[in-house]
Every structure is written in structure tokens, then in C-alpha cells.
Structure 1
Amino acid sequence: MLPIWLPVINRFFGEGTRKKETDAEKGNLKSESTESDVLKASGTIESRIIRDKQQISSVCRKLEPIVLVHGGAGNIPDYLVPAKMNCVKKAAIAGFKVLKQGGTSVEAVETAIRVMEDDPIMNAGVGSVLNYDGEVEADACIMVGKTLEAGGVTAVKDVANPISLAKMVMEKSPHALLAGEGATKFAKENHYELEKPGSLVTLAAKEALEAYKKDPEGDLTSEKVEVEEKPEVLPTGSVGAVAMDRGGHIAVGLSTGGLLGKMPGRVGDSPQIGKGAYCDDDLGGVSVTGHGETISKFCLSMRILKEIQYGRNAPEATTNILDRMKEKFNEDGGAICISRDGDIGIYWTAPRMPWAYQRGEELHFGADLGEDNKEESIVK
């Protein structure tokens, strides 16, 4: 870590020392300094050294590796909260393990999101909701804050882990977003293994679509419905992650099955850089969730980072912009954010949003506003 901080240390401690040494060599120091002046000067220098050491220590602490994830914002009923909380906790731990072993932030983001895509409790990957024709059309994106490279896929079928295909688009194509059949062709050409046609359509997803078609304006989470009759898969946004690695480099990602009962070919915010997710090492990283059309119109992730650019910290930026979107459109959303200094912003306007993060040995998690549970992580 020392080479990384050497310029900072030189800035704090080197300039004054070099100047005084040069002045002394030239004989420019005043010889008439009294003993009290010397003591006063040494005290000032000592205070400055202590203060600067504290500043450096604070920066080092904030730039510890961290993985922050969300499991989608929405009207999540009590009976689904434990399973969703368990999933986001596992995702944060898995992503942090990558960083702990020296991996990059983009690798941590991909790993964390794959954990959530592999859990049918989430609206992503194997748990994706269906379009109106009964098909899974998934969206995903991933971005690197150091270079601003990005990749995304939209309306892809038979892809169990869209986040990995999005990463492949970023790394192996000249494009930032591929759609539908074009994305499928790209996957085959790059030996990405596709699932059997229709194999990602689950019984729970079919039941949710049937319920939607009977009453498009109905609430599938209503407590008036018996628990046994409620579908296990509900349209609760996307899954996302933000990570900062040992070098202070940030990456973000997002994956979703989209809106339940959406028109075939619909594109939401999740695959679009600057809307569903964005990052820049000079500012921070954001991954959002909520009503995709509203988020797209509002460019939610970019607006949050702009607030940070204008001097807001991560909690303020996240809260201010989401409240503004709610006021303007009367639609809900949620976001997770890590600033370049390591500040964390977690906020939503929907009833609930499961989230979790690990930094150091502590795992933090919650689902209701104001909730921040802590426990010792199995990865240290």
C-alpha cells in the first residue's frame, strides 16, 4: 500500500521539509529566532504532522475494499423478506471474497450479481419474470470506473447469467450494448453457453403472469391473498452491485428480468449506462432499481453522481435525487452508491429494498428504511 500513498505523504510532509532544508543551506533562516519562537514553531510543526497523519489514516480507512448490493425495490411482503435478505447477504460476501483475494472491482461485481441471478427469489437470471408472451427477456449492464468501459445486453433469451454476457460484450466487442438476436449471435460466436429454449421459465413465473393477466392493476403481494396462493416470484425491480477494490477503482452492475407482463422487446433502464448504473473513479459508482421507464427519463444514476460532483456526499446525493424523482413522476426507485472517498449511500422511496455490504470484517444489511443490521462476516 505504501507506493500508492507515497505521493500523498510527500505532499503532506515533503514540501515543508525540503523548503526549510534549502533555506538553511542558503543561509536565509533568521538567526535572531528566540528560544520561544523555536518552541512555538516546533509545536506548530508537530500539530501539523499529527493532523496530516490523521487525514492520511482517514483516507486509507475509507478506501478499504467494499462490495455493496441491492435486491430490488418494491412492495416486498413480509413472507419474502428473509429469503431475499439471505440472498443479498450471500452476494455481498461472495463479492467481497473476490476483493479479499486480490480480485478487481469488476470481478467482484460480476460475482455478486451472479449469486443473485442464480437465486429464483430474485427478479434476475433464473428468477426472471415473464413478458406478456410468457418468455424471459433479460437485461444487464456492467461498467468500469477507471476507463469508463461498459457492456450491456437487452431482451436476451435463454441466458442464465446476463451479467456475464454483458461483461463479455464490454471485453470482446466494440459496442456498449447488444440486443435480442444480435446478442444471442454474439454469445454463440464467443462460446457463451446458452440454456435450452424456455428452460428459464419457472412455474412460479407462469403463475405470476397468469395473475397479472387476470388483473393487470392488481397487487400480487396483497395480504388479502392467502400465502399458499401467492406466487414466489414477484416483480420487485432488478439486482445490482457496486464495488471498490484495493486500488480505489470502482465498478457497477445491474441485472433484471424486467417488468412482469411487459411487451416483448421492451427495454428498461437496467442495460443503459447513465440510467440504471454508472461509475467514474473520479466521482463514485451507482446502481439503481425501480420503475424502469421513469429511471430512464430521469437518468437516475448519472444525476446521483452529478450531485457528488457538486459537493454532496453519497447519502445526501442518493436521498436528494430519489426524492426529487418521486416528486416529479410519483414513481418509486432505489439506489446504492459508493463515492470515490468510500462514503456509502443507500436509499429508496418504495416500501422496501433488501441490501447488504461488507467492508472489513463486518457485514451490514437491511430491507426497511433506517434498518442497519450488523454481524461478523465469514470472510475476513
Structure 2
Amino acid sequence: MRPRIIVHGGAWTIPAERRQEHLDGVRAAVEAAWPLLEQGADALDAVQAAVNVMEADPTFDAGRGAVLNADGQIELDAAIMDGRTLNYGGVAGVRRFMTPVDIARKVLETEFCLLIADGAERFARECGLPEVDPRELLTDRELELYQKLCSREGYCTHDAFKPVPQGTVGAVAMDVRGNIAAATSTGGTPCKKPGRVGDSPLCGAGTYADNETGGASATGFGEGIIRTLMTRSACDCLRGHDAMQAARMGIELLHRRVQGHAGLIMLDNRGEYGFYHNTDHMAFAYARHDGSVHASVHMAE
């Protein structure tokens, strides 16, 4: 079986002057993970490697480049799921680790599913994962955004949907054995309430994988995605629809039930890709059958 991988770099309104950065970023993620899959690596290793590339890229709202909360701090969430076993690992509120998906992968290997804040960071240290000064995660772009938005009286994070980046990153892959995995990583929403946890680290909300159906990773405002369990709902749609239809159905469910806006990438258990969004744009890339990479800043229909 030929392997597959698809990644996203967020769904929002991407200004023309920043589109090339997003194209380059999602392309680099696929190019880093695809050779691993061709060499027989597990789907888990591939999605972790792809997300690592985007966590280290200041273009996105994940790892370096993440948004600041209302207290001017960065809090990172991430998750990874194994479609073969349904094992799941998630972390939330991480401040001192650039690649929180690596912590999530370690959590997946335990009997637990989700660790938060100081407990997640202590666990990461016990696993020997590299810690960073939180200032290494901060970019001038996000500091300026924080100063602009948090000075507004009565500001709500959802008010910023149109002009503000929502560059959550994610990946879904199938390895040569037909196993599927998904991973997602994010800094959340600008000026969010400290301690707020979005959809990305929650099983079935922002991240889901099941060999019986497929895998999915979401990006957008997390509260609606959580309330509709959008990735699990979209994967359930794969039982009677192809991946493109299922992705559309997931987003349509979100909008119909909670008036939500998001983007979704998918991979079904036949190796077919799906993607859909009801935001202005979504950045994504995938490997074609011959290993070449298609990257796009896609515009909504």
C-alpha cells in the first residue's frame, strides 16, 4: 500500500503577503514526513514529524509563533492519536516546550490520555524532552497583535476571526501497513482567557483517527468544534461517504448546529484525501501518489 499524508496550517483570512509563508510551511511539513513513510515508518511517526516542522515555524500559531493569552503568556495544546489501537495522547496549557506534540506522543504511550499545565511539563521533563525559555516562542508579530487586541475594552477572541491568524497545525497519515494517525498542535486564540483549552487536544473534537474509518485534524474556533465533536463526526460520515464528502459534512454540521467556522483535513481508510473549510482560506498540502507535493492556500467556495 502506498502511504499518504495531508497537513494543514490553519483556517482563517490569510493576507496575500503571508500566503507564500504558509505554502512553504505546509510543503516543508509534507516533505519532512513523506520520506519516513516511504521508508516504512509508522503513521504516528510521520504525523509527529510533520507537526514538529510547523511547530518550529513562526508562520503558524503553534510552538514558536503562537498567540498570547490575556495575561500575555503562551499556552500550547496538542494531541496525537493512533488509529490502529485508538490510543490517544493530549496536552494542554504547556508553556515551556516548543513541540508539545512530542509530549502528547509520550502521553499516548502511557495509560493516560490527557495531561495539563504543570503536570504535563513535569511529565515532559521526566521523559527528557528539551525545555525552552518561553521567550523563544514569542514573535514580534504576536506581541504586536496582543498589544493591539487586548487594549480593546470588551474584546472577545471570536471578534478577531476575520483579521487575525488562526494558524493551528495538523497532519493525518497512512503508513504502508494501512495504519492511520492524526496529530494537531495550537497556541489557541488571541487574548484567550488563561487556562482556556480548545479543541486540538480533545479526542474527537480537534483530533481523531480510527483504522476502521479514517483520520481527521481540525482548525478553527475550538468551542464549536468541541460541541459537535467535529473530527469524530466527520470520520463517522466515512462509513457511507467518500473523504471529500465527509469533510464537507463535518463542517456543515458545525455551521448548522453552532454557527461555527473551521477547516478540516481527512484521510479515509482507502487512502483518499478530504478537505473542506467555511473560512475564507485554509492552508494545506498533501503528497500525491508519486510523492510530489501539492500545496495550496485554498479559498472557500
Counterpart in 2 of 1:299? 229
Q: Is the 8 A contact 1:72 1:334 kept in 2?
A: yes
Counterpart in 2 of 1:275? 205
Counterpart in 1 of 2:283? 354
**TM-score after normalising by structure 2:** 0.94
**Residue 100 of structure 1, CA deviation:** 1.4
C-alpha separation between the residues in 2 aligned to 1:220 and 1:350? 9
Aligned identity (percent) is 36
**Residue 314 of structure 1, CA deviation:** 0.7
Counterpart of 1:247 (choices 164, 173, 177) is 177
Q: Is the 8 A contact 1:237 1:259 kept in 2?
A: no
**TM-score after normalising by structure 1:** 0.75
Which stretch of the first structure deviates more once superposed, 92-101 or 356-365?
356-365
Q: Is the 8 A contact 1:269 1:276 kept in 2?
A: yes
Counterpart code for 1:354: A
Counterpart in 2 of 1:126? 64
**Residue 347 of structure 1, CA deviation:** 0.7
- Cα distance 1:146–1:120, how it changes in 2: closer, same or farther (>3 A)? same
Matched residue of 1:71: which SS? Answer: strand
Q: Is it true that 1:139 corresponds to 2:77 in the alignment?
A: yes
Q: Is the 8 A contact 2:78 2:101 kept in 1?
A: yes
Matched residue of 1:346: which SS? Answer: strand
Matched residue of 2:170: which SS? Answer: strand
Counterpart in 1 of 2:88? 150
**Residue 329 of structure 1, CA deviation:** 2.0
C-alpha separation between the residues in 2 aligned to 1:289 and 1:237? 8
C-alpha separation between the residues in 2 aligned to 1:140 and 1:220? 21
Write out per-residue CA displacement over residues 85-138 of structure 1, whole angstroms, 9 at most, x where no aligned residue.
110011011111111122111100011001100100100011110111111100
Matched residue of 1:214: which SS? Answer: coil
Matched residue of 1:125: which SS? Answer: coil
Matched residue of 1:67: which SS? Answer: strand
**Residue 160 of structure 1, CA deviation:** 0.3
Matched residue of 1:64: which SS? Answer: coil
Counterpart in 2 of 1:168? 106
The count of aligned residue pairs is 296
Write out per-residue CA displacement over residues 262-312 of structure 1, whole angstroms, 9 at most, x where no aligned residue.
011101000001110111111111111111001000100000011112x11
Counterpart of 2:271 (choices 331, 338, 342) is 342
Counterpart in 1 of 2:126? 189
| Structure showing greater Rg | 1
C-alpha separation between the residues in 1 aligned to 2:125 and 2:81? 22
Q: Is the 8 A contact 2:14 2:165 kept in 1?
A: no
Q: Is the 8 A contact 1:211 1:220 kept in 2?
A: no
What 5-or-longer segments of structure 2 have no aligned partner?
none
**Residue 220 of structure 1, CA deviation:** 8.8
Q: Is the 8 A contact 1:318 1:346 kept in 2?
A: yes
Counterpart of 2:247 (choices 311, 318, 329) is 318
Matched residue of 1:269: which SS? Answer: coil
Q: Is the 8 A contact 1:347 1:369 kept in 2?
A: no
**Residue 219 of structure 1, CA deviation:** 5.1
Counterpart in 2 of 1:83? 21
Which stretch of the first structure deviates more once superposed, 213-222 or 186-195?
213-222
Report 1 or 2 for greater relative contact order, CA contacts < 8 Å, sequence distance ≥ 6.
2
C-alpha separation between the residues in 1 aligned to 2:197 and 2:264? 19
Matched residue of 1:127: which SS? Answer: coil
**Residue 196 of structure 1, CA deviation:** 2.0
What 5-or-longer segments of structure 1 have no aligned partner?
1-62, 223-233, 372-380
Write out per-residue CA displacement over residues 300-336 of structure 1, whole angstroms, 9 at most, x where no aligned residue.
0000011112x11111111122122112222211111
Give the structure with the larger helix fraction: 1
Q: Is it true that 1:330 corresponds to 2:268 in the alignment?
A: no
C-alpha separation between the residues in 2 aligned to 1:219 and 1:187? 33
Q: Is it true that 1:213 corresponds to 2:143 in the alignment?
A: no
**Residue 198 of structure 1, CA deviation:** 3.5
Counterpart in 1 of 2:9? 71
Give the structure with the larger strand fraction: 2
The two structures, once aligned, show a CA RMSD in angstroms of 1.6
- Cα distance 1:148–1:83, how it changes in 2: closer, same or farther (>3 A)? same
Counterpart in 1 of 2:188? 258
Q: Is it true that 1:289 corresponds to 2:227 in the alignment?
A: no
**Residue 237 of structure 1, CA deviation:** 4.0
C-alpha separation between the residues in 1 aligned to 2:195 and 2:300? 37
- Cα distance 1:128–1:282, how it changes in 2: closer, same or farther (>3 A)? same
Counterpart code for 1:190: C
